[in-house]
Structure 1
Amino acid sequence: MSRRLTLIWALLVAATLLSFETMGLGDARIGGALILLLAFAKVLLVGREFMELRHAPLMLLWLFQGWVAVTGAALACLLIF
């Protein structure tokens, strides 16, 4: 379990560093959408692993994952278009 949490933590740090790197992209809308999608990927990882939603009832897990996917995609689309 400790190894799993360490791996998730390393992924979260890598996603944070990647979001800093995307600020230098030429098109601000694409860079902003990418940062937003990385943020929602981090929300998904934190919710599943550190809030232990992966052990929650299946309906709650699917509602959470659906909310992350729909909200992240909607906000990214609003930012791009």
Structure 2
Amino acid sequence: MSFTENVAAGSHGTPAGTFRLWLVLIVATILTWQLGESRGGGLLTAIILGIAMIKGAVIAFDFMALRHAPLLWRCLLGGWLVLVCSLIGLAYWKGITP
């Protein structure tokens, strides 16, 4: 069985599980929005970026079905998420330091 047949054979999970993940993503989006509206510091920014990175991983691995992809693709995507969030955090940190 090829990779595409495996994905097509139901590796996305159940519709109820997908709906629960979608609800978690909606709640996480509302949470990060509310946290972003408050006047926080670097710790709050790190929490928001952490939630964003987790959301990105859920979308990539569950909704894009990369959980069952070859290891190289999973590592590339995970590394990309870490790199982007780290660069955003670094830009924020450099922007607030005199």
Structure 2 length as normaliser, TM-score? 0.66
Secondary structure in 2 matching 1:19: helix
Indicate the percent of aligned positions where both proteins have the same amino acid. 26
Paired letter, 2:69: A
Deviation (angstroms), 1:64: 0.7
The question of whether the paired residues in 2 share the 8 Å contact of 1:29 and 1:80 is answered with yes
Task: Name the count of aligned residue pairs.
Answer: 81
Q: Please say if 1:39 is aligned against 2:39.
A: no
Secondary structure in 2 matching 1:13: helix
Larger Rg: 2
Gaps of 5+ in 2: 1-13
Gaps of 5+ in 1: none
Higher relative contact order (CA 8 A, sep 6+): 1
Structure 1 length as normaliser, TM-score? 0.76
Distance 1:65 1:9 in 2: 20
Q: Which has the higher helix share?
A: 1
Which of 77, 81, 91 pairs up with 1:68? 81
